[in-house]
Amino acid sequence: MRLSAILSVFTLFLFVFGVADAQEGAVADQYGGENDAVAEAEGRFEEQNAELERRIDEVSAVGGDLEESQSLVDGANGRTVELREESEELRQNLAQRRAANERAKASYEESVREAYKNGGLEGVDLVLESLLGSGGAGAASDPAIARILFGGRDALLEYREAEQALEDTMRQISEKNNAYDRAVEDEAARAEELRQREATLEAAVEEIRIERDASATQLREIQDAERARILETAPATGGAPGQKGYEVRLARQKIVAEEVAPIPYRRYEELYKESARKYGFAADWHILAAVGKVESNHGQNMGPSTAGAMGPMQFLPSTWETSGVDGNGDGVANIMDPEDAIPAAAKYLQTGGAPNDWYAALYSYNHADWYVRKVLAVAEGYRRLAGDETVGPYTVGG
């Protein structure tokens, strides 16, 4: 697997956590509170962000209900308008039928009066009352008059039936109108309730967003302070090229920097595993091995570097002076000896935040974001080659 392909899966993590110093024990105690502050601020930010997302989802759900309710209101309003238009048309139709009925009735009355022109008006009124009311039995005595009367009566009865049907239809439409009006009122009330709920939720979302942003600002301030503090401490490696002369002189005068016989990679791997286990991150020995790979290709480039770093883990002599470890128990801490340098690197990473915060630990080793990304990419490559699914994946921020 090409290293460039591995590196492509990682992005720059924006914040740096943890501690870094050359001293163990007292230094770790000194910065423990700062780590707690970072963790607390980060936890508060994550909680508020989760609550914000939950409230936004709730607003979206209410918005969907509101849209559906408004659609029902609009539909009910539309149907109500249709029914009212239909009612008005039927009212006009009914008025026309009644007018026609009145005209037919008047004509009918005139026909009867004409038929009874030799009789009195009282007799005509009795006949009309009989025909228009109970059935016209009194007119049957005169066959000619009966034909006129009963023929007209059939037309009147048809008008009456049509009028009754229209009245029934009007009553049904009125009932439907009332039902739709109630539905419109109910849906309008529900829509108003949903709008109020939506407004309340939006206000809550805005409040949480303000709190979240304030927490994010506080978190960035704490993280920036941590980064600034780490930058003030001496890195294990890296440094400026201009200090090479000073570091080389320090190596001759203050520390042990004696060359040792090369050892095979298998022994390097054993030292990585042993040292990672001793300093509390046995499962993540791939990262320690990645540091060794990036720094010296496992002892192939022992330095000094342009900044004066040397040995398999490329410690600066000025840092080694306070952070060197006698890993093999021979009485000296030799910056060039893998059996001393690898445990010293593990100890330094532990002091910097490993295994809880690998970004901070690696950043303390070398104050460069590119360095952190590169080491984690190499470690991820080692992890995948080993088929180790118990840890990782190793990513920036992971």
How large is the average pLDDT for residues 189-200?
A: 83
CA angle 303, 346, 311 (to 5 degrees): 10
Question: Which carries the bigger pLDDT value, residue 285 or residue 74?
Answer: 285
pTM score = 0.51
- Which of the pair, 59 or 395, is modelled with greater confidence? 395
Question: Residue 355 has what pLDDT?
Answer: 95
- The long-range contacts involving 88-96, CB below 8 angstroms and separated by at least 24 positions, are 90/166, 90/169, 90/170, 90/173, 91/170, 93/166, 94/163, 94/166, 94/167, 94/170
Give the per-residue pLDDT at 112. 61
Supply the pLDDT for residue 356: 93
pLDDT for residue 195 is more than 70: yes
Give the pLDDT of residue 92: 77
* Structure confidence at residue 375 (pLDDT): 97
Lowest mean pLDDT segment, chosen from 19-28, 130-139, 148-157: 19-28
Mean pLDDT computed over 257-275: 97
Task: Return the bridge partners of 253, or none.
Answer: none
pLDDT of residue 342: 98
Structural domains in the chain, CATH included, are 3-22+233-386 (1.10.530.10), 56-229 (1.10.287)
Q: How confident is the model at residue 12, as a pLDDT?
A: 27
pLDDT number for residue 197: 81
What local confidence, expressed as pLDDT, does residue 39 receive? Answer: 66
For 8-24, give one letter per residue: b (16+ CB within 10 A) or e.
eebeebebbbbbbbbeb
- The mean-pLDDT minimum among 69-78, 263-272, 310-319 falls in 69-78
Q: What would the pLDDT profile of 291-349 be if each residue is shown by its tens digit?
A: 999 999 999 999 999 999 999 999 999 999 999 999 999 999 999 999 999 999 999 99
Report yes or no: 230 and 30 within 8 Å, Cβ to Cβ: no
For 123-152, write each residue's pLDDT tens digit: 555 555 555 554 444 444 555 555 555 555
User: Which residue is it, tokens 């009456």?
Assistant: 160
Which pLDDT belongs to residue 140?
A: 44
Does residue 53 register a pLDDT over 70?
yes
Q: Give the max Cα distance, the chain.
A: 157
